Every structure is written in structure tokens, then in C-alpha cells.
Structure 1
Amino acid sequence: MSDPGHHNPSPDSAPAADPPAPVTPEPAPAEPSGLSGARESDRHIEIQEAPFSLLGDSSENGSGNGAENGFGDPDPDTSPPTSRRKRTRTIVLASLLAVGLAGAAALGTFYWQIHSQRDTTLTLPPQIGELTLDTGENAQQTAEYLKTALSAEVDLDETVGAVYTAPADKNVLFFGGTTLFWSPDKDLDTSFSLISDEQGAVTNLHEVDPGPLSGTMKCGTTKTESGDLPVCGWADHGSLALAMFPNRPESEAAPLMRQLRAQIQTRN
């Protein structure tokens, strides 16, 4: 017997089930203490790596210019272009200075020679060793002819000419003059052409010792009707002279020419 007022639900009329509760995601496990800070620090280091390696900060890598090899030594191949240009300019300037000094020294020597040799006088002493100055008319005419011929080849301020006699008919014909010669060697070669025109080409022309008065001296031979005629000449920046030595071998010509020069040439 059922209790009045109390209603038992039947199975068919059972109430509907409650809807499922929403699933709440479980919270992520907490990271160990300090791990988050470490990751942030890692990110900070990664950000700093690019400026560190590209800029080469001298405060971090110990290099003043950021150009070092793996052992901390400066790498010359990575020197700044400005430094290389400075080194190149220094080398070039040093080379030019050395060449300039050498050129100045050579130029100074050249002008010193001109200054010391330009004021020269040629005088004809009456006696030079075994040689005696011939003052006869024929000797004077010969000397005058030689002076005129030389002046036609070489521009001279003053000229001298003489015939010196010696035993065994070993006379000496001497002629020369004074002026400023810029190229004594070339002017001496020009003067030899005078004898070539008159007697025949001067052959075997070669340099010989000019003696203490320096300059240049050359000797050679020319052909005449009586045989070979030795010829010698000297030239410096103040004087030029030639001499012919009939009836003498060439071995006597050069020493005698130096003897003549020592007695005839003086420098003021």
C-alpha cells in the first residue's frame, strides 16, 4: 500500500542525467626555481653575440683594433688601409730623399770641379826639361797657324801656341787655350778632329793618366809622310791643349804631355 501523497517515480519517468562538468586543463608543472631566469639570460647572450663578434669591441677581446688572430697577435693582413697607406708613403718618401741626396751630392761635386778649374792660365816658359822654346819666325808662324785652327774648332777666350825644340830633332808642337768648358771630354774629342783634317784620322785614341791637375787626357797616333805621329791632349773645365810629338814613340808622349802641363798650366 502506498503512502498517499508520496509518488514513486517509475523507471520510464526517471529524471535526465546532469550534463558533464567542463574539463579544466591541469596547470603546467611549475618549472624548477631559477630555470626561467636562465632562459631569459640565454636569450640575452644570444642578442649580445652579434655585436660582440662584428664590432670587435676592444674592451671584450683585448685588442686595440679588433684585428687579431686566434693567438692574440696582430694580423698584418687585416691592418687598416690607412695604416698601410702611411707605411707606403713613408717608404716612398725615404726612397725619394735618398735619391735626392745622391743627386745633390753628384751635382755638388760637379759644380765644385767647375769652380776649382774654371780660372786657368796658360803660359809658355822658355825651358821645360830638355825642351827649349823656339822664338824663330818659322816657329812663330807655325804656332800662329795652330792657334787659329784650334779657335775655329773650339770657342776659346785666350789661345797660346809654341814650338819647343829638343835634341835629335824631337821637337814638340804645342797649342791650346782657356775658357769655361761644361763638357771637357766632348770638347777634347772635337779638338782631335782638327788634326784628323790636317794629317789624317787620329787612331787608337785612348785615355791616359791626366796627372795631379785631373780633368781628362787622351793620346793616339796619326799618319804623316814621315811615319806615325803621336798626339796627346788634355781638357778640364778651364783649359784645353794639344801637342804633337814627331820622332817619338807613343810611350814617351803621355809622360811628356803631363810634364808640359805641369809647367804651362796654372789655376788662380
Structure 2
Amino acid sequence: MPPPGGRPATLHPGSGPDGRPGPAPRRRRRPLRRTLLVMLLGAACCCGVPAYFAWPASHQYPVTANLPDAVADLNLRNDAAAKRTTGRLQQELRDTGLAADEVFGGAYGDGHGKRVTIVGTTGLRLRPEADLEAELLHLGGDYKLGDLASYDLGEAGAHERCGVGRNGGSAVVVCGWADHGSLATVLLTRRSIDESAELVGVLRDAVLSRSG
């Protein structure tokens, strides 16, 4: 029955016939497909990506470095000149701040005058490629490096680069490798850059061993 005055009562949306609030309208449910998609994306972000980056690190760290007496056609040299050279390079590596745990170094030679000097460090590296670039940039001025090229070590998270330079009046190839557990530079004489890069991969496999 209309109220006094003859104007009918106005019912607002959501109110009952007696003017009191009625039940709230139901919210539309999100489609199940969208919910599942969000869950899958969250799992990928939280689990998949870190696992991808963690696998190379767990494979490459921790490691120890031991210089074998012979590698390929090379023999480890223990003369005073070799010790002076490797000692100087080891100190230079420490001075760069790139040295982590253990610093190692040695010089090799064959019966035909070919020389190989290796200096490196073990320890955890979160950005091995950037560390390798920093080390080669440091050496680039001393050896006037040019024609830098990247080489594939066949292992995720491991990087190798080589360039041609000068050491005094002689040509020298300077190579470096870095992974999540080690970094090293290698100086090689009387070898092409491709031959040097291949030998550096052999040296890396011979020098490093898993310690974990």
C-alpha cells in the first residue's frame, strides 16, 4: 500500500520488497583456466629459472686446481725464470681483486721452444663471463691484445676467449677461461689462436677437479 502522500516507495537495487537490504549480488568467478595459468607461471618463476642457473654452479663449484707434470706434449718447468714469471702474474691477479680462494700458476714447455704459462684462481663466481672480460681487459694493455674471439668449451656456464698480442718482441696468444668455480689466463707462444684455444680446453680439464 503506498505511503501517506500517495508516492510509491522506491526500491533500490539490492533491497527487498520491504525496503530492507537484500543479499549482495554474487561476484563472477574467475575462469579455472586463468587460475591454473597463474599457478604455472608462479612455479616457473620460483623454481624453474633458479634451477637453470644453479645447475652449472653446482657442477663447477667447488673445485681444486692441481698442475700435472705433463699435459699433451708439454712438461711442467721448475726453473727460476718460469717461477719468476708465474709469481709475477699470480701477484697481478691478486691485485685485480678477481682472485677468490686458491691462486695457482705454472709454466710448461716442449722440446721445440713452445711455452705455455697458466695462472688462475678457484672460488665461487656468480658472473664468470663478466669476470673473464675484466681480466682480459686488464691484460689487454700489457700485451696489446687484438682479434679477441670466443670459443665453446662445450659446457653451460663456462666461457673462453682468446686474442693475439705481443710480449716484448714476440707474438703471444692470450686466452682465458671462467666458470662458476674458477678463472684462469693462459699465455701461449708459437701456436695459432685456434690451436691455443683448443689446448686451453685440455689444460682446464687436466688442472681442475671436483672437490665437493
Rounded Cα–Cα distance in structure 2 between residues aligned with 1:146 and 1:95: 54
- Residue 43 of structure 2: aligned partner: 101
Deviation at 1:248, TM superposition (A): 1.2
Structure 2 partner of 1:31: none
- The number of aligned residues is 185
Question: Which position in structure 1 is the counterpart of 2:55?
Answer: 112
2: distance between equivalents of 1:167 and 1:267? 32
Alignment of 1:244 with 2:187, yes or no, is: yes
Which residue number corresponds to residue 180 of structure 1? 124
**Offset of residue 245 of structure 1:** 0.9
Q: Which amino acid aligns with 2:202?
A: Q
Give the deviation of 1:108 after TM superposition.
Answer: 1.2
Per-residue CA deviation, residues 39-59 of structure 1 (Å, 9 max, x unaligned), is xxxxxxxxxxxxxxxxxxxxx
* 2:75 is equivalent to residue 132 of structure 1: yes
Deviant stretches of 4+, over 6 Å: none
**How has the CA–CA distance of structure 1 residues 213 and 105 changed in structure 2, closer, same or farther, with 3 Å as cutoff?**
closer
Segments of structure 1 that go 5 or more residues without pairing to the other structure are: 1-79
When you count helix as a share of all residues, which structure comes out higher?
A: 1
- Asked which structure has the greater CA Rg, the reply is 1
Structure 1 residue matching 2:191: 3-state secondary structure: coil
The aligned residue for residue 3 of structure 2 is: none
Distance (whole Å) between structure 2 residues aligned to residue 139 and residue 197 of structure 1: 22
Distance of 1:152 and 1:81 partners within structure 2: 69
1:40-51, aligned counterparts within 5 Å? none
**Equivalent position of 1:57 in the other structure:** none
Q: Any idea what the Cα deviations from partners look like across 1:130-180, whole Å, max 9, x if unmatched? A: 101110111111111111111112132111111101232110011001111
Q: Distance in 2 between matches of 1:128 and 1:209?
A: 20
TM normalised by structure 1 equals 0.63
Whether contact under 8 Å (2:161, 2:176) holds in the other structure is: yes
RCO higher in 1 or 2 (8 Å CA, sep ≥ 6)? 2
1:220 aligns with 2:178: no
Q: Which amino acid aligns with 1:207?
A: S
How far is the alpha carbon of 1:81 from its aligned partner? 8.6
Q: Distance in 2 between matches of 1:227 and 1:135?
A: 22
After TM superposition, list the pairs within 5 Å mapping 1:1-268 onto structure 2. Answer: 82-83=27-28, 86-87=30-31, 91=34, 93-103=35-45, 104-153=47-96, 154-200=98-144, 202-211=145-154, 215-268=158-211
Native 8 Å contact 2:61 2:181 kept in 1:
yes
Take 1:212 and 1:113, find their aligned partners in 2: how far apart are those partners?
8
Aligned residue type for 1:204: D
